[in-house]
Each structure stands twice: as structure tokens, then as C-alpha cells.
Structure 1
């Protein structure tokens, strides 16, 4: 009994010492322990996600990748895998596991190996949120006390859910949702058992156990997890055997991008950072919805890229990327093995739809190539015959006759699939931009800032100020209409040769082509893009008045040269600025502000930002003869916005604003009508008087509601097309990033026949096709617009030669629109004398720009 008493006394003393030690330890660290109640309102750092208007993900920004999930959204086997591996008694202990700690102590005592941890899931959560990973006893003590406190504040399920969303799992993936995406490109409910086990094995050492870095390590750790799941009866023997036999196949996946719009995404990123700062923007889980619709954006990207391919093919093949071996007789370099070729191709970075390939064999009119995935493809003659030799931007070699004229075995080339077959291709050197917006609100519908964002992040749609060429002319003609000209006014289309005594030079603006029609109506001159007529109209209005008028369209005065070259397009604007300017014509005279962010939600799904666009609202002005109340104006604007938006209940912003009127409705209407002639021309072809406008290719859309204008600068350094109706306006630009490089000309390629376009590169040939193919998709669901003729506009029959009134009802006359009160007052007289013009107007600078 004496020994039993001694043992009891010792146990009591030990218990008292333990209690005293715990109390002392708690007293020592209590002031350093954070308030675990913060976990009740914790906000996990989640990246900013950017969506299209139709809910497609276009990008994700943030250092930490996280996809927060509730416990109910996680597969039961995933939860079981973590419990079996990390904390099998999670639902039994109070935050720390005495049995686990004793087991770990025995392992350390017997093997001196401290690799086996004893931290519960709650302790790991405490460490991840409040502590560091330093291996010190004091940190372990703090961890245990925090775990106990956490267990008092949160339920077991809340702790487990927070842990599974917080845990770091490598490659910047935090939480199981992000890990499933990063390693397998799946959501958690799509994971197989072996993939679940790989993820559950990562917390021990995510940097060395992840399947991307070390498939072997991941496999070994996976099998340990599966073994523990089998021991815990979470899986059957059959499931275990199938999972351990599964191969480890993983690669690093980015976010599940479903809409390709990187230039838009970058615009959004910059704007959100400006609004909220980097820390909040990248970690608060913002969901940003844009004005972009995926089908339209996809069409813009495809159209721009295909147009650059077409330009590139017109100008010839610049040769292979490299020659890996030579097939010439007597060459000592052997052909590479398949493994060597595939290893080489694996090191090459693909761009857009261009794939790297190596030529294996060349026959008479085809070639066999191998791609990076090991597939061999045959390039037929149709895939090769375009590739005559590129000499320079102005010259190309002869059309090839044999495949050997183009390719040889051992060449590293680029190929792409054109929808029908694989064809030889190359990375375009020319650049391009395409912008489209809703003229009623300024909402950007599509924007592409270059061939590839991966190749160049420079956004040519918003950052590249380029000379606009003849796309400036509608604005010059609009100024002329404000100063007494009409669409029937006669202007002399004749060469200008004016000596500037001050500069000591002669200014000779030329038409392109150099055809001069003599006396010509303003409508026809605009449709044919007559340069000298534009100069004469500028002279008639005056440079100061013209610049003041152009400023109304949102153009900065610093971008508008104060000389007569302004009339030919020497102004430098970005494609987005030009698009916004054309929107004034499209919407009837209102200046809208382009925007791309529609609304922003926080992580809880609460709306924290809603853009309030300035809306073009003619009805708001017409429905009141006296000043409107703010409430009435907002009600009308809200109704207009409801008619424009597909989901007005969700998206309608409060406090809509009216866009300022900067141009009369009548002036905008007259310019729109004149630009329709740029598409459909005029005259009578049966009578030999028919003529085409510069945008005649747009006729293929078979729509009578489209107005358009081509533009080309001196030496074809910039080419443009701007086209619109009342519901959509778009601008396409093509040029080189080197503003001094000309787009040149393409000669006839006998191999392509009618499938090509030859001649000098210009707006109609180079930029318009991209706009046209884009609009085939963008306008397919937009009904043909039938706008009403605004009040104050009259229509009278005029003589097409003189612009005067006509009594004839044949091919010599046609109806023309006029601002009421400006109609001609005289009738055309047969045999009237020729026109007389005075060209004694000053010139200021020698510069030629043409269309």
C-alpha cells in the first residue's frame, strides 16, 4: 500500500505540475494570442475575375488562386481523404490530439526523426491564419492554445470548411477548389479518386509533392493517402487497387478562361486598380462584368487575325523559322530522330492558332510535317501554293510550281488549321486593331488591340495614335454642312497647285487614284473620297471653324493639325477615339463616352459599382417644351436603357444621364445618308453613268442601313475602315507598329487567281475585309434599321450634274435630302454654261495623304 500511495502522490504532483505548467505557459503567451473571433468574419483572399456580359470568364488577376467552396460543395471522398491523412480524430478532439502528440513524441524518442507532425486540422488552421511556420516550442504552445479557442468559437464543420479553403497547396493554389483547377483543370466534383488523393497529400510539402514538379513524389504520397483511406474504411479494396494503378497525369492549368479577350481584360484590370488600389483589387474576390459579348468578341478576334494572315500571304513567305538539318546531297549532318524533333518542338512556344512543325519529307506538290504532339500532317498544294518568296513590302517573287520551291526537310516552320486543312503559315508582321461599340450608350461591344496579347501587350485600339487618312472626311463635310453647303452643292474636283510664298514650296494634294471629275456634288465627292474636294471644303469653312467643329466629336485639339492637311487625315487618333467620333453620326448627334466595365460585385455577390452611361436620348429632348425635371429625364432614360439592355431588371442603373448633344440630328442624318453612297454608289449602270463608292465591298452584307468610310494615309502606312448603323459602330485599322513602314503593294499571284487581291494596300483592300467579316457575325441578329427622316429635312428631285432642281424623271435626276430652307431655288437648264471656280486659297504645308 505504501508504494501505491507513493505512486498516487507522484501522479498528483505530476498533475499539479502539468496544470501549473499549462497555466504558466498560457500566462506567458496570452498577451500574444490574437482574437480568434476574427475567424467568424474572415474574408479569404480571392482573385479578381473578369467576365463578359454573358457570364464567360475572360481573365483572373491576383497572386493567390482560390475558389471558395462550402463543405456541401465538396465531394465526401475529398473530405474523407483529408481527414484520413491529416486528422483522423478531428471530430473527437478539443483542438489538439493528445494521442497524436504522444505518438509523435515516441517516434522522435525512438528514431530522432521529427518529421511526423502532431498538428490537428484546427492547429494547422491556427498556424495558417495567425502564426508562422518556424519550428519552435513557443510557436507550438501558441498553436495549441489558439486551436482550443478556435474550437470554442467555430463549429467543427466551420473549421474544416475554412481549412480546406485556406490551405496552401502549391503553385499559388490556396484551397482545394483552386488546386483542382491548377493541377487537373477540373472542378472538385469532377475529380477522380486518385486525383483527390494527390490533392489531399499536398499539405505536408506542396512544393515537392505536387504532380507538376514531381509525378513520382506525388504518386508515392498519393498511395499513402489511399492506404489511410482504406484503413479508415472510406474506400473499398477494389477502389484502392484501381486508384493506385492510375497514372499521374497533371500539368499546370490557368484559370478556366472561356472568352478570349486579353486586351479588354487588361483595360479592366487597370481601371479597377485605379478605382480601388492593388491590394483590394487583387484579393477581395471582385467579380467584374463587362459590356463584351463572347460571340461578338470572338468574331472580332478571328476576323482581325484572318485579315492579317491574308495580308501576309499576299506579300509572300519570309522563310522558315530555322533549318534544323540540311537535305542537300553530301551534307554530313544527319536528319534528327523523332525524339530529338519532339524535344525541340516542346521547347517552342505556340502563339494563337499558329503551331510549330518540322518538315519531314517533300514530294512534288505536298509536304509531310510533324507537330509538337507527335502527329504527322500532310500539307497539300492548296496549303502551300500561296508561298511565293517575300522580297520586300513592295515586291514578291514568282509563284512557286513545286513544294520544293518552298520547303525542304529539316525546316522548322509554322502551320495552322484553317478550318478545312492544315496549311503553311507564318507570324504576321503587320499589326491591327478592331473596335466596336453601341452608339446609344458607348458600351464597347468588342475590342482587339493586336494579333496576340502574348506577343505584344501594347493595345493599339486604345494606345496607338495613328494618322486617320480619309476617315476624317465625314467630319470635314459635316462642318461644311454647318456652313451653308448641301449634299447637292457643286465643288470643283480638279488638281490643286498652290504656291506658298512663305514656305517656298508648292502644295499639290492629289486624288487617289489620280482621277478628277471636274464639277461634282458633295455627296458623290464624299462617297468617292475626293481629296481635293475635301481641301476646298476646308477652305470654305476655315481651319479654325473646322477644328472647333471636330472638337465636338471628342477629338483633342492637340491631335488636330492647324493646316489644310487636316482635310486629308493628318490628324492622329486612336481607333477607339475615332469609333466614338463616328458614334455621333450613328446615334443622331450625341457624344457618348466609351466604357467597358458594366458592374462589379464583391465576394458576397453584392453590387458595389454600376456604371451610369451617358445615353443618347432624342426622346428626352422632344417630349418636353419646357425644362424637364430631373425625375422625368431619368424615367425616360431608364425606359430607353431598358429597351437597349437584354436584362434590364438586373442591369438597369439608377440615375442614368443624358449624353450631350454636339451635332444637330439633321446634320448627322445627312452625313449618314451620304456615307451610304460610299457603299452603294450611284448613277445608272445601264446608261453608263454608274459609279462605285470606296466601300462598295460592304454591299455583300445586303443591308441598306450601313454607312461607311475608308481611309488610307500617305504611302499606305495606315489603313482604316469605319462603318456603322444606328445600333452598332465599328472601326478597323491595319498598319505596322513602325509608323514609317509602308504596307506596300501586292502583285498578282498566278497560283491564287480570284482568291487574292493585288495592288496598293489601302483602306478598302486592307482594313475593310476585317470589319466586313466581323460585322457578318455582329449584325446577323440586328434587324435592318429603318430610321425616320428627322423633322427639318426635306427631299426634292435634283439634276445630278448641276445639283439644281430638276423636272426630269429619268437617270439624269434623283431625290436628295436637304436641311429645310437650303434646297436649290433654280431649275437646271439644258445647255447651261460650264461652272467657274476660284481656287485662290492659301496653303500651309507640303504633305500628301490620300484614300
Structure 2
């Protein structure tokens, strides 16, 4: 009894001493224990992801790879693997595991080493958020108290979810969601049991035990995890043995970029940083859905790249990048030496570095960086006459040795499933496509390669717009009592400028004049002198003020008569916005490129609220506000109708009165709902094409970044046969082909969307020569649209004389 009594007294004393020690330790470290309340609203460092409108990942920003997951979205076998390995009594203890602590103490007493930490998942969470990994007794004490606080604050599921999303798992992967992506390129639900066990084994030593850096040790660790799962009855023996025999399948995966669209994603990054700050934008796990559609964006990128290569090819080959050896002098390099050299060469997609190994009369064999041999047939080489200058090319090649020799380091490109000799295009380009009804940007490309230049020419490059300005000049004229049937004299202008001391002689391009011409045809054929005469008729200041209605910046609109020829400078996005007014009945929309912003868990933080092209009486039926109407719907239709003629022309070819507009190549699309306008500045320094229907508007610009360098001209290449683009570069030759290629893809599933005439217009038959009313119903006349009160009131004489006579407008010709 005495011994028992003393044992009880000793136990009570130890308990009291332990409690006193615990209390003393608590007060000793209390000031250093952080508040765990922050865990209630913890924001894990999660990268920002940028998606297309249809959900394809186009970029990711942030230092840490993390994909937050909810506890209910984690597969149970993965939870079992984590618990079996890290803390099998997690759902039973109160933050610390007394059994584990005793076990760790016994190991320390018996070995003198701290081999086991006895840390529960809650304690590991405490360390990961608030402490370091230093093996010190005082750190362990703090860890225990913080864990106890955490258990009071959070539920077990909340603790486990935080832990699984926080832990470092190697190769910059933080959390199990990111680990599944980094090691296997999968979602958690797609992992096999062996792969889950591999991830569950990583927290112990993520650098040393991961399957990429050390697959042997990683496999051993994985099998330990599987053994723990079997021992704890999470899996049966057959499942255990099957998983143990599974091979190591891990390899490094980046973020699964489904469509690389760097210019639009950089716009998103800049916007998010400006709105939220760098740290929050990069680390809060924002999911930003852009306005671009993946297939249309991809088509835009292809069209722009292909068009720049076509320009570069017609201007000639500038030669190899380097000669590694001289065929008749040096010993050829061996395969390994060539590949080693090529690995030092920076490639910019879609170009691949290669070295010429062998040539024959009509083909060449090359070796690429990947160690693959490719044959380039004559059809991929025959374009390569030598480049002399922007306006001169050498003679067409006859055999391969006119172009290449073994040892040359060249660039190749796989185009239409065929390898061809290539080179970096020297000009630049931009493409913007948007929905003119609400401003949603459908596609945007700011240059040939973001890796080559991060300068976004679609939004940053203010370039002279050339004849792309003319629809706006003509809009001003139509607002000033001109009509599409008004006759203007297309004749040379010689204007003496006393202030400058010289004559200003604007010329047509080409330098051909038609004499009296209707405004419709003048716009369609881009007559420069007619544009100047209209500017004078309306007034320079009045015309400039009218242009400001389309959202252009006042400082970009110069107050001189050269304004009529496109001396104003605008970005492609600004031009697309202005042009959209003609496609949407006169409304000025605001382009937008972000459709929705979500948090890391998919909760919507905001959606686009665009202004849409609607009438005020429709406002109550709309969920969004109407965009302001800056020109009348009648004015917008008349301009778009004249731009329709720029593609489809007019007159009668059978009667030899037919004519084409400058955008006639767009007829290849075989769509009668398209309107368009070319644009070319002096010496073809800037070239443009803008075109649209009611639902899609696209603007393309091509030029050199050096705004003093002209695009030049290309001579006919006998090696290339028919359908070449030759002659002086212009909007129709340099920019429009990209527009056509893109629109062919963008419109493939789009129904016809012509711009219908609005109320307030009448359609009457006019004489094509005089613009007066006509009784004839033949090739000498056509129906023309007029705003009410602006139609001619006189008829042309049947004799063909242009002398009109008064006659009332026939009621039967009024269509609206």
C-alpha cells in the first residue's frame, strides 16, 4: 500500500509538474505565437491563369505552381494515402498525437537522435504557415500550441484541405493539385493509385524523393506508402501488389497551355496588375476568361504568320544564318557536333533551326535540333531568289545549289505538312477582330512572335492609316448633304500653298483619273483627289470634328488637307473600333478583352458589362446599357454599302462598263455580306485592310516597325507560277491576304449577316453616268440608296444627254 501510495503521489506530482511546465512554456512562447485566425481567410499563393472564352488555358502567371482543390474534390484513395503515411489518427486526436510523441521520445532516448518528429498534419500545417523547418525544441513547443489553436478554430476537413493545398511537393509544385499536373499532367481524379501514392510520399522530402529527380528512391518511398495503406486496411492485398508493380510514369509537365496567345494574355496580366497590384494578381489564383475564342484566335495567329512569310518570300531570300563549314575546304561536322551547335541556337516558333547536310538538283536534306532529318523538296525552295533590296530581287533559282550548300545553318518551317526553307520575316503586323455589336474582341495578335518582340502593335502602334480614313471622310460628306450619287470631279489637284511656298499635288494611286464620278464608286476605288475635294466641301475643321465621333484621339487628327489621305495615326484596335460604327448602325462601342474573372475556386468576381449597339427604345429589354449613337443609322448604312462596292464593284462587264473596287480579292470568300476598305500610305510604309459584316469586323495592319522604311515591291518569280502577288506593296497586297485567310476561318460557321437598310432610306433608280434619276432599266442605271429628302429630283434625258429636267419622284420606287 505504501508503494502504491507513493506511486500515486509521484504520478500526481509529475502531472502537476507537467502541467506547470506546460503552462510556463505557453506563457514563455505566448508572445511569439501568431494568431491563427488568418487561416480562416488564408489566401494561398496560387498563380493567375488566363483562359479563352471557351475555357482553354492560354497562359499562367506566378512563381508557384498551385491548383487549389476542395476537400470534396479530392479522391478518397489519395486522402487515405496521405493519412496512412503522415497521420493515421488525424480524425481522432486534438491536434497533437500523444502516442506519436511518446514514440518519438523513446527513439530520442534510445538513440540520442531526433529521427522522428511526431508531427501531426495539424502541426505540419502550423509549421508550414507560421514557423520554419528547424529541428529545435522551442520550435516544436510553438508548433504544438499553434496546432491546438488551429484545432479550436477549424474543422478537421478544413485543416486537411489547407494542408493538402499548402505543402511543397517538388519542382515548384505546391499542393496536390499542382503535383498531379507537374508530375503527370492530369487532374486529381485521373490519377492511378500508384500515382496517388507517389504524391503522398513526397511531403517527407520533396526534393530528394520526387520521381523526376530520383525515380529509384521515389519508387521505394511510393511502395512504403502503399505498404502503410495495406497495413491500415485502406487497400486489399491484390490492389497493393498491383500498385507496387506499376512503372514510374512521372515526367515534367508545364501548365497545360492549350492555346498560346501571348499578346492577349499580356494585356490581361497588365490589367490585373494595375487593378489588384503585382502580388495579389500573381498569387491569388485568379482565373481570368478572356473574350477571345480559341479557334478564331488560332486562325488569326496562323493568318498573320503566313501572310508575313508570303511577303518575305516574294521579296527574296537573305541567305543562311551561318556557314558551319565550307563544302570543298573543310571537313563536314558529324551529327553530334551539329546537334550540339543547334542546341545553342534560340528558335522562335514556327521556325526551326537546321543545318544542310546534302543537296541534290531539286531537293535538300537537313538535320534539325531534335536530331531528325528532313527533306525539303523543290516546291519548298523555288521561292528563294536572292534579296537585293526592298524593291529588287535576283533571278529565280534553277537548282538547289543556286540557294544552298552543305554546312549552312538555315531556318525551316513546316507549312501545310511540308517542310520549306524559311527566314525571319522583316516586316511586322497586327490583327484585331471584334464583334461590332458589343465590342467583344474575338481575336487579337500584336506581332509575328512575342518571344521576338513583346511590343503589341495591335494596341500600341499608332501608324498612319492611309485610305482606311476615307469611310470616315465620306461619312462626314454624307452628313453634309452629299449622297452616294453625288458627282465629284476625279481630276488632278494643283494647290499652291503660300505658307509653304510649294504646290500640293495629291495624286490617285495608281495615277489614273476618271473625271466626273459618283461618290459610291470613288470610295470603292479609293480615289484620293475625290477624298480631298470632299474634305474641302465639308470643311477641314468640320471633317476633323466628325472623325472625333468615332473615338479617335484629338491629338491624332491633324488639321491639314492630308487628313483626307490618311495622315492621321491610329492603332489597329482604334481603327477597328471606329470601323465598327458602320457595322452596327452608328453606335460607338468599347472593345473589351476580359469576359469574366473568377477566384481560385471558380467563384465569379466580375463579368464584362459591355455597351451594346441598341436603340434607346430597346433599353428596357437589354441587360446592358446601349452604346452611344454617334452617327445616324442611315449614314452608317450608306458608308457600309459603298464599302460593299469596294469588294464587289459595279457596272456591267458584259457591256464593258464593269469596274472593281480595291478590295476585290475578298470576293474569293464568296460572301455577299462583306464590306471592306484598303489603306496604303505614301511609299507603302503602312498598309491596311478593314472589313466586316454585321457580326464580325477585322482590321489588319502590315508595315515595318521602323516607320521610315517602305514595304517596297516584288517582281514576278518565274519559279512560282500563277496567283502570285506582284508589284508595289499596298493594302490590297500586303494586308488583305491575311484578312481573307482569317475571315475564311472566322466565318466558316457564321450565317450570312448583311447590314440591312434601316428605315428613313429610299431606293431609286439612277443614271450611272450623271447620278440623276433614270427611266431606264438596263446597264446604264442602278438602284441607289438615299436618305429621305436627299435623292435627286431631276431625270436624265433619254437621249443620253446629262441635261436634267424636273419630274416628281415616282411613288413605286420608294422601297422603305
Please, what TM-score do these two structures have when normalized by structure 1? 0.88
* Cα distance between partner residues in 2 of 1:483 and 1:72: 67
Deviations 1:456-485 (A, max 9, x none): 221111111000000001111111112222
Find the counterpart in structure 1 of residue 314 from structure 2: 314
**Residue aligned with 1:658, SS:** coil
CA separation of 1:367 and 1:427: change in aligned 2, threshold 3 A? same
Q: Does 1:337 pair with 2:335?
A: yes
Task: Give, in angstroms, the shift of residue 608 of structure 1.
Answer: 2.9
Between 444-453 and 149-158, the greater mean CA deviation after superposition: 149-158
Q: Would you say the 8 A contact 2:50–2:289 is kept in 1? A: yes
Between 812-821 and 552-561, the greater mean CA deviation after superposition: 812-821
Task: Give, in angstroms, the shift of residue 722 of structure 1.
Answer: 0.6
CA separation of 1:188 and 1:683: change in aligned 2, threshold 3 A? same
CA separation of 1:350 and 1:778: change in aligned 2, threshold 3 A? same
Task: Give, in angstroms, the shift of residue 23 of structure 1.
Answer: 2.1
Partner residue of 1:354 out of 344, 351, 371: 351
**Residue aligned with 1:827, SS:** strand
Unaligned runs of 5+ in 1: 622-632, 639-655, 836-851
Q: Does 1:251 pair with 2:248?
A: no
Deviations 1:126-176 (A, max 9, x none): 111222334432221010122233334444443322211111223432201
Between 455-464 and 798-807, the greater mean CA deviation after superposition: 798-807
* Cα distance between partner residues in 2 of 1:107 and 1:592: 73
Find the counterpart in structure 2 of residue 803 from structure 1: 771
Q: Would you say the 8 A contact 2:466–2:565 is kept in 1? A: yes
* Matches for 1:145-160 after TM superposition, within 5 Å: 145-160=145-160
Task: Give, in angstroms, the shift of residue 674 of structure 1.
Answer: 0.9
Q: Does 1:510 pair with 2:507?
A: yes
Partner residue of 2:698 out of 730, 738, 742: 730
CA separation of 1:77 and 1:558: change in aligned 2, threshold 3 A? same
Task: Give, in angstroms, the shift of residue 514 of structure 1.
Answer: 1.0
Deviations 1:508-561 (A, max 9, x none): 111111111112111111111111111111111111010011111111111011
Q: Does 1:708 pair with 2:676?
A: yes
* Cα distance between partner residues in 2 of 1:477 and 1:96: 80
* Cα distance between partner residues in 2 of 1:357 and 1:244: 42
- The aligned length equals 799
Task: Give, in angstroms, the shift of residue 433 of structure 1.
Answer: 0.9
Partner residue of 1:781 out of 744, 749, 756: 749
* Cα distance between partner residues in 1 of 2:782 and 2:225: 89
Find the counterpart in structure 2 of residue 439 from structure 1: 436
* Cα distance between partner residues in 2 of 1:202 and 1:597: 38
Partner residue of 2:642 out of 674, 681, 691: 674
Unaligned runs of 5+ in 2: 805-816
Task: Give, in angstroms, the shift of residue 119 of structure 1.
Answer: 2.3
Find the counterpart in structure 1 of residue 607 from structure 2: 610
CA separation of 1:593 and 1:477: change in aligned 2, threshold 3 A? same
Find the counterpart in structure 1 of residue 814 from structure 2: none
* Cα distance between partner residues in 2 of 1:115 and 1:762: 76
Partner residue of 2:548 out of 536, 548, 551: 551
* Cα distance between partner residues in 1 of 2:445 and 2:519: 34
Q: Does 1:55 pair with 2:65?
A: no
Partner residue of 1:368 out of 359, 365, 369: 365
* Matches for 1:469-480 after TM superposition, within 5 Å: 469-480=466-477
* Cα distance between partner residues in 2 of 1:787 and 1:474: 16
**Residue aligned with 1:816, SS:** strand
Q: Would you say the 8 A contact 1:170–1:210 is kept in 2? A: yes
* Cα distance between partner residues in 2 of 1:327 and 1:6: 99
* Matches for 1:509-588 after TM superposition, within 5 Å: 509-588=506-585
Q: Give the root-mean-square deviation of aligned CA atoms.
A: 2.8
* Cα distance between partner residues in 2 of 1:119 and 1:409: 65
* Cα distance between partner residues in 1 of 2:568 and 2:382: 40
Find the counterpart in structure 2 of residue 19 from structure 1: 19
**Residue aligned with 2:60, SS:** strand
* Cα distance between partner residues in 2 of 1:377 and 1:319: 19
* Matches for 1:209-358 after TM superposition, within 5 Å: 209-211=209-211, 215-216=213-214, 218-230=215-227, 232-233=229-230, 234=235, 246-247=247-248, 249-253=250-254, 255-323=255-323, 325-331=324-330, 333-338=331-336, 340-358=337-355
Please, what TM-score do these two structures have when normalized by structure 2? 0.91
Between 807-816 and 719-728, the greater mean CA deviation after superposition: 807-816
CA separation of 1:734 and 1:179: change in aligned 2, threshold 3 A? same
**Residue aligned with 1:359, SS:** strand
Q: Would you say the 8 A contact 2:430–2:445 is kept in 1? A: yes
Find the counterpart in structure 1 of residue 87 from structure 2: 87
Between 350-359 and 743-752, the greater mean CA deviation after superposition: 350-359
* Cα distance between partner residues in 2 of 1:579 and 1:461: 10
Partner residue of 1:695 out of 663, 681, 686: 663
Task: Give, in angstroms, the shift of residue 25 of structure 1.
Answer: 0.8
TM superposition outliers: structure 1 runs of 4+ over 6 Å: 1-9, 109-112
**Residue aligned with 2:430, SS:** strand
Q: Does 1:658 pair with 2:626?
A: yes
Find the counterpart in structure 1 of residue 808 from structure 2: none
**Residue aligned with 1:506, SS:** strand
* Cα distance between partner residues in 1 of 2:614 and 2:625: 9
Task: Give, in angstroms, the shift of residue 264 of structure 1.
Answer: 1.7
* Cα distance between partner residues in 2 of 1:271 and 1:342: 42
Task: Give, in angstroms, the shift of residue 705 of structure 1.
Answer: 1.7
CA separation of 1:410 and 1:686: change in aligned 2, threshold 3 A? same
* Cα distance between partner residues in 2 of 1:186 and 1:90: 27
Find the counterpart in structure 2 of residue 127 from structure 1: 127
Task: Give, in angstroms, the shift of residue 808 of structure 1.
Answer: 2.7
Partner residue of 1:816 out of 764, 781, 784: 784
